[in-house]
Amino acid sequence: MSPDAIASLIVTKEGDTFDCRQWQRVIAQPGKLMNRDSEIYNVTASLDIYPVEREGNTISYDRMTLSRVERLTPECEKAWAKARATGPVSAPASTR
């Protein structure tokens, strides 16, 4: 992972998530928090599952340590706005 890479994990009160990573380009993916056996996970729209551990204002997520910030980067802000405008920001429900 490049030291120039930036990652953001947005979590709404409803448990919707938005994973935004940027280095040479922006990769953003909506998801949803899941509680299983007293553990919290983020399930992305592509059905990747990542454990989320919070301690104060720090989150451990997908081998990264993320700290709370006041503002997103302009690139992630734009991706977040676009995702909200195109529909619900959550992982698809699975069907059987």
Q: Is the CB of residue 40 less than 8 Å from the CB of residue 34?
A: yes
- Judged against a pLDDT cut of 80, whether residue 96 lies above it is answered with no
- Judged against a pLDDT cut of 80, whether residue 7 lies above it is answered with yes
Strand residues in 1-96 grouped as ranges (E): 6-11, 16-22, 26-36, 39-44, 49-55, 58-61, 64-67
Q: What is the pLDDT of residue 91?
A: 45
The structural domains of the chain, ordered by start, are 6-73 (2.40.128.500)
Q: What's the Cα-to-Cα distance from 77 to each of 9, 16, 30, 35, 40, rounded to whole Å?
A: 12, 16, 13, 27, 25
pLDDT in tens, 44-93: 999 999 999 999 999 999 999 999 988 999 999 999 999 888 866 544 44
Q: What is the pLDDT of residue 37?
A: 94
